Structure 1
Amino acid sequence: MQKRFFILLLIFGWFSGFAQNNEAQGESYYKKGEFKKALIIYQNLNKEKPYHYEYFYKLIAIHQQLEQLDEAEHILVQRLEKRRNPTLVIELGYNFQLKDSLDRANTLYEEAITYVDKKPNYIYSIAKKFEDHSLLEQAIRVYKKGKLLTPDKDYSIQLARIYGDQGDVEKMFANYIEYIAYKPNYLNNIKRAISDFISENSSNENNTYLRRSLLKKIQQEPNPYWYEMLSWLYVQEKAYNKSFIQEKALYKRNPESLDRIIELAITANNDSDDETAKDIFNYIINTTQDADTALIAHQYILEIDTKNADEKELKRIDKSYNELFNAYGKSRLTLPLQLAYGEFLAFFKKDTESAIAFLRKSMKLNISNFQEAKVKLLLADILVLQEKFNEALIFYSQIQAELKNSTIAQEARFKVAKTSYYKGDFDWAESQLKILKSSTSQLIANDALDLKLLISDNKFEDSTQTALKYYAKADLYAFQNKTDEAISLLDKILAEHKGESITDQALYQQAKLFEKKQQYNKAVANYLEIINDYKEDILADDAHYQLAELYNTHLAKPEDAKQLYEKIIFEFEDSIYFVEARKKFRMLRGDSIN
């Protein structure tokens, strides 16, 4: 008996596996458009399992693809004679629609919709079948009926998706808002769903409608999720000060965590909205009971103040750092502040000796290996600033040896390559950069590839490598914040080595330095020269994008910017700027959907 049962199991398993293989083969034929081959397989599968609806509907779809509409109709009518299923009724109606018998099709669609009144549990399957055939108006009617017949359920998210497909953004937003009220924990999903319909431009029609709807909801029922949604909208518009107002309102209702406000402050800071970022960080300092959180906020404020500080302001900032050390001490807990102060002394106060002395004391603290590596990395950077390259290389190499394969070790290897490049040791630099091309950090890998291409493209053109040495020196000047010296040296390259492969690199680097000095017209001239004379070279898309950004953000020439963004879309499809250029082009064109 057991033996017989075992044999039956084997036979069943063999048939099951055979059916699965056939189905996979049939699906493959279907996707490739080989419908005649797919038809044979699905006819057999349908015979084996006549009530397997997936096989049945696929068989109908294949007949329709082969324009065998009478055959599809015959199969559907036969099945409907056995059982009047509403999804089959819709399928038969669609088959009549393909035959241009619209009256008969609509009659069957109406019949299917009436099933909802008798059996509301059919709502989703009927609406979904209408959606499968892009019969969106019928699907909308079914979901709306569902809202009336089954008030305990909610079909707003399905309606929102359909209205989005139809381009009816106002109704889409209204239904998404209704669904948030029904299921607030879906808020993040809905943010993702509508993000493509929102612009950075606050006067955009979609933004305006969503903002008004949310403000109305806050007045009617001030639930936290409406504040959160409105805050999110303001962040999309880069109106961080307005988002801050919403976040404060949220915090007052639930003062458990400042995480959202801290995240907003960092976002505003990263987007160079210094005034708002400082306001938020000051609020955090005045609100938090946590010393570490307050310390982080203090550090951000000092770093913001440092950006454009004059001599008098630098002295005040120096004093503020030391007041913080007096209050919080110097330990592993305040190491981020110590690193920030070391960088401040070296790169802003130009007091490299004091910076090195201060950081050497930090290394003597009871800190982790990773923290020590962070200190060594900054110390080495400062030694490069002083042009003490060999000493810097010792620190970078120690990090590589002590924390092998870590991201900070890879960063140290890149800095070894960069330091060797500054020294003019291009072969050693290139050997290190080859290793870094496969770095786990995409940013390091990209920077390594860019520098490797610069060296390999230019080191053989001139046996003395004069132009490349000048360029590396200009790069070092830029790192040392000696902007005028860097610009002058790049001028020398452009005068003495014009036409060589390094020319477009020199023009691009100089343009970035002009931007730093806010000499935008000079930067424009450089970008235009690259676009006009080096349109086939590697920096062509970079020049287009950076020039578009200048026109868009600093020179109030949106039409010129739009043309350049459009050029990136159509001529540089593989560019890293493609997605951003398309987004900004559509925004400047005034599209309602991004």
Structure 2
Amino acid sequence: MIFAQSELLLAENYFRKGEYEKAEQLYQLLFDKNPQNTTYLKRLISCFQETAKFTAAEELLQKQLTKRPNETYLYVELGYNYDRQQLKEQATTQYKKALESIDKYPEFGGYIARLFKENSLLDFAIEAYQKTMQLNPDLNYNFQIAQIYGEQGSFEKMFTAYINLLNTNDAYLPTVQRFTSPYITDDPEDKNNILFKKVVIKKSISNPKNVWNQLLSWVFTQQKEYDKAFIQEKALFQRNPEFINNIINLGVLAYKAEDYKIAQECFDFVKEKSPLGDYKRIAASYVLQIAIEVKQPDIDKLFSAFFDEFGQNSSTFQAQLLYANYLTFQKDQTDKAILVLNEAMKHTTSKFNHAKVKLQLGDIYVYLGKFNKALIEFSKVQTSIKDHPISQEARFKVAQTSYFKNDFDWAKAQLKVLKASTTQLIANDALELFLIISNNQPKDSTDLSLNKYAKTDLLAFQEKNEAAILGLQSLLNEYKGYPIEDEALYKQAGLFVKTNQLESAIKNYLQLIAINKEGILVDDAYYQLAELYSTKLNNTEKASEYYQKIIFEHPSSIYLVDARKKFRKLRGDAVQ
């Protein structure tokens, strides 16, 4: 046995290296000892074919068929042997024999189909799978058929096969979503999207059931058509109230995509219809977040009503943090915010929740310009929770606060560690701030450009956007031609976008590019211009122009993959 295993390993090694004659000798020995082993037979035939010994392969296959006429899958191998010699007619004759044999030996149907597929005989493989299922309705090869249609580019047939698979068992829903998702884009007018919806709707008419609504909701979500997904989810809820959880999930997705209107409708629906207090509370907390995002005028009343209904306790901990943040950055009521945080601290024993409170307290002290107090709070988090993303966040806040107070060397020391953070967002933020300091740190006592830039950065942190814009303009006027100029233009452009001053933002980005086309922020400026024209100004021509700038002029940019994808979509390509 050990000897046979060593022979097999050696034979496989020769085969993979393309040394077919050496492999043939070993597989011949192995096959002679065990003529019922189909692996040895197949490998031996392949060795013959790779060395153009087609007659030897044919004789061996004919011999096997004579000895074991029920092993009709060998007709596939015999036909493929003819195919390798360009003898198409003879090959087809053998393939048809293999297909016809399924009537007599249906147990070989799946294996015959698999052999066809392995030899890239895809139409024959589909026919074999379909015939096998007709003979034995308990078998389901729709998944295999769907994959073959995908390889052929027959997408409507592929989708139909996946839907037929799902029709047999609702449990296949995640599988169908996973294998169809590469073909579905976020464009409702994409040909594949239209085909897929057509197939699902057709099946839903002939055999109505919940899974079709679930699948349509999923497709609409991929297309970011959350309103249409909501219609499907409401239909599901009407049949089964347990689907309320899907509406919460949809609301969260819409919220993250900044479709606040539909998110609000989802959460209002949950608040009205759900019998579960937890679901009502989750929905109500998101309503608060939406109110802050869209700057509703009655936010204070919403918070008051929320806490009246759900209380200030462990279950509303996150809402208490949200309220404190709102009081600080939107209302400038820091004393009240600190009281809210101290109250929140009483309702949790989790060290991670305590850390969140301390981080937020630190942010309040930064907002107030009390940097040393802020550093104490952030340092407490670093000490209490080590080797965790919260600790890394605290370290970044230490660096950022040190930067705000113009302690640039200490800030750089912290940022240098964070550049290798396992949390990508923190690593990116750390690298960005590290470069700002490194590229603009004063060489002498007269250069105060970085000090002033940090001051305007603090104003932006404090949500004092107009004051930050004015501060940056003063800096630009005073330090024209200094290294800090491109940073100031880029920062100010971002604030212009935030305050909906889009023309001013565009002007800044173009000025930044004109200063130095080799500057490190040029690809950032091109990308932001493309995004502005694409998402805010609905000018696809301009957006395409700037995406192309990244693709052709900045091939090492971190935006390259995203720019290429978005450019192709604007051009109307089928994005896979």
What TM-score does the superposition give when structure 2 sets the normalisation length?
Answer: 0.91
2:13 aligns with one of 25, 38, 47:
25
Structure 1 residues 110 and 512: alpha-carbon distance in aligned structure 2, compared to 1, 3 A threshold? same
Structure 1 residues 215 and 79: alpha-carbon distance in aligned structure 2, compared to 1, 3 A threshold? closer
Asked whether the 8 Å contact 1:42–1:55 carries over to 2, the reply is: no
1:162 aligns with one of 123, 148, 155:
148
Question: Which structure 2 residues correspond to residues 256-405 of structure 1 after superposition, within 5 A?
Answer: 256=242, 258-309=244-295, 313=297, 316-365=298-347, 367-405=349-387
2:460 corresponds in structure 1 to 478
For residues 55 and 554 of structure 2, the distance between their equivalents in structure 1, rounded to whole angstroms, comes to 49
Aligned partner of 1:357: which letter?
Answer: L
1:100 corresponds in structure 2 to 86
For residues 536 and 46 of structure 1, the distance between their equivalents in structure 2, rounded to whole angstroms, comes to 65
Asked whether the 8 Å contact 2:186–2:223 carries over to 1, the reply is: yes
Asked whether the 8 Å contact 1:380–1:392 carries over to 2, the reply is: yes
For residues 31 and 484 of structure 2, the distance between their equivalents in structure 1, rounded to whole angstroms, comes to 70
2:97 aligns with one of 98, 102, 111:
111
Structure 1 residues 510 and 366: alpha-carbon distance in aligned structure 2, compared to 1, 3 A threshold? closer
1:7 corresponds in structure 2 to none
For residues 55 and 445 of structure 1, the distance between their equivalents in structure 2, rounded to whole angstroms, comes to 53
Structure 1 residues 26 and 422: alpha-carbon distance in aligned structure 2, compared to 1, 3 A threshold? farther
For residues 141 and 463 of structure 1, the distance between their equivalents in structure 2, rounded to whole angstroms, comes to 82
Worse overlay, 410-419 or 332-341:
332-341
Aligned partner of 2:254: which letter?
Answer: A
Q: Deviations over 1:311-350 (max 9, x none)?
A: xx1xx32122123223332222222121111011111112
Structure 1 residues 21 and 134: alpha-carbon distance in aligned structure 2, compared to 1, 3 A threshold? closer
Structure 1 residues 171 and 464: alpha-carbon distance in aligned structure 2, compared to 1, 3 A threshold? farther
For residues 347 and 487 of structure 1, the distance between their equivalents in structure 2, rounded to whole angstroms, comes to 17
2:167 corresponds in structure 1 to 181
Asked whether the 8 Å contact 1:393–1:416 carries over to 2, the reply is: yes
2:527 corresponds in structure 1 to 545
Q: For residue 249 of structure 1, report the CA deviation from its aligned partner.
A: 1.7
Aligned partner of 1:80: which letter?
Answer: Q
Question: Which structure 2 residues correspond to residues 36-75 of structure 1 after superposition, within 5 A?
Answer: 36=19, 39-50=21-32, 51=35, 52-61=37-46, 64-65=49-50, 68-69=51-52, 71-75=53-57
1:132 corresponds in structure 2 to 118
Q: Please tell me whether residue 147 in structure 1 is matched to residue 127 in structure 2.
A: no
Q: For residue 267 of structure 1, report the CA deviation from its aligned partner.
A: 0.5
Structure 1 residues 578 and 105: alpha-carbon distance in aligned structure 2, compared to 1, 3 A threshold? farther
Structure 1 residues 191 and 529: alpha-carbon distance in aligned structure 2, compared to 1, 3 A threshold? farther
Worse overlay, 420-429 or 98-107:
98-107
Q: For residue 405 of structure 1, report the CA deviation from its aligned partner.
A: 1.8
For residues 150 and 444 of structure 2, the distance between their equivalents in structure 1, rounded to whole angstroms, comes to 59
1:415 corresponds in structure 2 to 397
Asked whether the 8 Å contact 1:39–1:59 carries over to 2, the reply is: no
For residues 531 and 89 of structure 1, the distance between their equivalents in structure 2, rounded to whole angstroms, comes to 67
For residues 184 and 365 of structure 1, the distance between their equivalents in structure 2, rounded to whole angstroms, comes to 42
Give me the CA root mean square deviation: 2.7
Aligned partner of 1:507: which letter?
Answer: L
For residues 235 and 129 of structure 1, the distance between their equivalents in structure 2, rounded to whole angstroms, comes to 38
Q: Please tell me whether residue 254 in structure 1 is matched to residue 240 in structure 2.
A: yes
For residues 532 and 131 of structure 1, the distance between their equivalents in structure 2, rounded to whole angstroms, comes to 57
Aligned partner of 1:250: which letter?
Answer: L
Q: For residue 59 of structure 1, report the CA deviation from its aligned partner.
A: 4.7
For residues 192 and 373 of structure 2, the distance between their equivalents in structure 1, rounded to whole angstroms, comes to 57
Structure 1 residues 589 and 159: alpha-carbon distance in aligned structure 2, compared to 1, 3 A threshold? farther
1:35 corresponds in structure 2 to 18
1:406 corresponds in structure 2 to 388
1:190 aligns with one of 170, 173, 176:
176
Q: Look up the SS of the partner of 2:102 in the other structure.
A: helix
For residues 264 and 23 of structure 1, the distance between their equivalents in structure 2, rounded to whole angstroms, comes to 55
Aligned partner of 2:464: which letter?
Answer: K
Aligned partner of 2:122: which letter?
Answer: L
Q: Please tell me whether residue 518 in structure 1 is matched to residue 500 in structure 2.
A: yes
For residues 553 and 75 of structure 2, the distance between their equivalents in structure 1, rounded to whole angstroms, comes to 49
Structure 1 residues 489 and 97: alpha-carbon distance in aligned structure 2, compared to 1, 3 A threshold? farther
1:435 corresponds in structure 2 to 417
For residues 39 and 557 of structure 1, the distance between their equivalents in structure 2, rounded to whole angstroms, comes to 63
Structure 1 residues 215 and 89: alpha-carbon distance in aligned structure 2, compared to 1, 3 A threshold? closer
Aligned-pair identity in percent equals 42
Structure 1 residues 576 and 20: alpha-carbon distance in aligned structure 2, compared to 1, 3 A threshold? farther
For residues 329 and 370 of structure 2, the distance between their equivalents in structure 1, rounded to whole angstroms, comes to 15
Larger relative contact order (C-alpha < 8 A, sep ≥ 6)?
1
Asked whether the 8 Å contact 1:569–1:581 carries over to 2, the reply is: yes
Q: For residue 22 of structure 1, report the CA deviation from its aligned partner.
A: 1.9
Asked whether the 8 Å contact 1:490–1:506 carries over to 2, the reply is: yes
Q: Look up the SS of the partner of 1:151 in the other structure.
A: coil
1:90 corresponds in structure 2 to 76
1:466 corresponds in structure 2 to 448
Asked whether the 8 Å contact 2:465–2:495 carries over to 1, the reply is: yes
Worse overlay, 446-455 or 159-168:
446-455
2:222 aligns with one of 220, 226, 236:
236
1:8 corresponds in structure 2 to none
Worse overlay, 186-195 or 95-104:
95-104
Worse overlay, 361-370 or 481-490:
361-370
Q: For residue 365 of structure 1, report the CA deviation from its aligned partner.
A: 4.4
Q: Deviations over 1:376-428 (max 9, x none)?
A: 11111111111111111110011111122222121111111111111111111
